[in-house]
Chains A and B, each alone.
Chain A
Amino acid sequence: MTEMNMVQAINDALRLEMRRDDRVLVLGEDVGKVGGVFRVTQGLYDEFGEDRVIDTPLAEGGIIGAAIGMALYGLRPVPEIQFSDFIFPAFDQIVSEAAKYRYRSGGEYTCPMVIRTPVGGGIRGGHYHSQSPEALFIHTPGLKVVCPSNPYDAKGLLLSAIRDEDPVLFFEPKRVYRAAKGEVPEGDYTVPLSEAKVVREGKHVTVVAWGAMLYEVLASAEEVAASHGIETEVIDLRTLWPIDLDTIVESVKKTGRIVVVHEAPKTCGFGAEILTLIGEKAFLHLEAPPVRVTGWDTPFPYTLETDYLPLQHRITPALIETAKF
């Protein structure tokens, strides 16, 4: 075991898998000689060379399109989109091509690839370096969507994602790229996709979160435990889609209360879907209105970032109100 941050753990996963499988390659803007703007791919170019760590022009549609062609051929590309805010020029490629290959070819072709991209706020990046577009991809049948919160999960989930037969969007919460540290095993291990994790047990209220917001939720959980004796059960979703609904339903049956926290805007955010699923599966167990604590329905702000984000100061009151309802 070695202590790593998220950047190091993701780098380790890429390196291991590229050593294990020569079909795996990385492509994107500045991923090669520069090592990526967040240095996630640092050192890979030196070890694997320019034909496996490919510096591309600024052309997100071209990057994802080329990666799809590689996947159809039988390779396992891991394209990087430098910020998930830049993914929209490639939206057509992801939604119209990658997500639908298995379906529209009748299973003749699949599109195994992992699109890595930093997500979320917390770096004062403003509206083009901070957004959380996960719901757009969850809404697209044929894609899997992952968002780890810590180095152990990041490495294990990325290895699972690269070995998966379908296209995976791998969102990396940039706010905790270096802040989240933890023990990470050396060598190969996987964290299965579609398995949520109960990271804190409690009996009064269930909170579902992922990525960087998990830490805010845990801080609020400690706060309300101390101030009000409220025991919060916290679920790190880890894989957003396909969702591990059983783990959430089981928890809600115990607590009767659910709060979902995410950075993306509220309306049609993934929280809306989770709460609807709970309405369908655990309606009679609910003892309080389901609650969302999310980003606002506005562009991601530059100057008001800490007001926009659903940080501890907004989560704590929601937990208290929900528990007391």
Chain B
Amino acid sequence: MPTQDELVQLYRQMFLIRRFEEEAARAYAQGKIGGFLHLYIGQEAVAVGVSAVMRPEDYFVTTYRDHGVALARGMTSRACMAELYGKESGCSKGMGGSMHMFDREHNLLGGHGIVGGHIALAAGAAWASKYRGDGRVTLCFFGDGATNIGGFHEGVSLAALWRLPVVFVCENNEYSMGTPAERTLPQRDVSKKAEAYDIPGLRFRGQDVTDVMEQLREPIERARRGEGPTMVEVMTYRYRGHSMSDPGKYRTAEEVEERKTRDPVRIGRGHALAAGVSEEALAAVDAAVEAEVEDAVRFADESAQPDEALLHTLTLAPNGDADSPPPAGSYPAEKRSPLSADAAPTEVHHA
């Protein structure tokens, strides 16, 4: 079990994501945020729990439902909200919007709007980690719907073949947009797909952040030990529609209410109280979160739109300067691990 302080921190992160997104939904309704806005509300324990057992230098690649992951990794509420508003102070200078959360400081390689398009990217980043011997793990989130797309197969297949340090986390929220899993997945147990790639599969309910942490430790360590990827399926639920334009009428009120009985924020708060954290202390956390979100909304509101010139300089590099390699010895070759266990040592050349 995490310490008292850790439990408070976990609760704070989940409550922040919840309140951040509720205010983002309000701003969307006011027309301040355009396009699409896919809320993570109901799934907060997954991003927060996974992030808590990853290292700061690890890589994250995720889907378009990405605000929760961005905030859990440490992106500021200001940069995240300003991106939703399409302002230049946003994490992607307002050019990406809701589905494109990027944060180099926290090795967040993006939210991705094309379902399944990012899964092979995770294999590539992990391959680079293996090549550089940096000991990092790449965490790749996707939804249950993405497992039907070819990109899922190609990405998982490469990662398994080369035993890359990746953990695949399927956030199964029961719906591919408006269509339930029983009408989209021939095999509804996504974790069983692991068997096809000869990697371990794991399935559990992920509404309790401490469960998520507990379950993810071994897959992450396994990846870090160089033993390859794991397919983790986390059963969860989104309370809202697929995006803001989706009222979610394909679900019954009873179903949504039943899922809300396992609310991750409430469970997280309960853990903190059970560990002896006072109501007053949590009220102070709540107040700080409210102030942070309010500040983020104000910041986004007051920030400037990006200049049109930015559009052109962000398409191709403006100056076309040639790049130079890093100095010899920047990455000691002995830290590399071969792609296959029986590979002969390779000769290494430096400039």
A residues near B (Cβ < 8 Å) are 18-25, 47-52, 54, 56-57, 59, 61-62, 64-77, 89, 92-93, 96-97, 101-110, 112, 141-142, 144, 160, 163-166, 190, 193-194, 242
Most buried by A among B103, B130, B131, B157: B131
Given A51-B346, A62-B154, A74-B128, 5 extra CB contacts under 8 A: A25-B131, A57-B158, A73-B124, A75-B128, A163-B324
19 A-B residue pairs with Cβ-Cβ distance under 8 Å, sorted by A, are A21-B351, A22-B333, A59-B154, A62-B151, A64-B120, A65-B119, A65-B123, A65-B124, A65-B155, A68-B124, A69-B61, A69-B121, A69-B124, A76-B323, A102-B317, A105-B92, A141-B316, A165-B317, A166-B316
In which size bucket is the chain B interface? Answer: 35 or more
- Number of inter-chain CB pairs below 8 Å: 199
B347 to chain A, nearest CB (A): 7
Which residues of B have CB within 8 Å of A23?
325-326
Closest A residue to B131 by CB, please name it.
Answer: A51
Closest A residue to B59 by CB, please name it.
Answer: A73
Which residues of B have CB within 8 Å of A242?
316
A30 to chain B, nearest CB (A): 15
Most buried by B among A52, A73, A103, A144: A73
B residues near A (Cβ < 8 Å) are 59, 61, 90-96, 100, 102-104, 109-110, 112-114, 117-132, 138, 150-151, 154-155, 157-158, 161, 311, 313-317, 320-326, 331, 333, 336, 338-340, 343-344, 346-351
Which residues of B have CB within 8 Å of A19?
349, 351
Which residues of B have CB within 8 Å of A164?
317, 320, 322-323
Closest B residue to A23 by CB, please name it.
Answer: B325
B40 to chain A, nearest CB (A): 19
A70–B124 CB distance below 8 A: yes
B284 to chain A, nearest CB (A): 34
A62–B157 CB distance below 8 A: yes
Closest A residue to B104 by CB, please name it.
Answer: A108
A65 to chain B, nearest CB (A): 2
A93–B350 CB distance below 8 A: no
With known contacts A61-B150, A65-B154, A109-B102, A22–B120 Cβ distance under 8 A: no
B161–A57 CB distance below 8 A: yes
Closest B residue to A109 by CB, please name it.
Answer: B102
A315 to chain B, nearest CB (A): 32
Closest A residue to B156 by CB, please name it.
Answer: A62
B316–A105 CB distance below 8 A: no
Closest A residue to B100 by CB, please name it.
Answer: A104
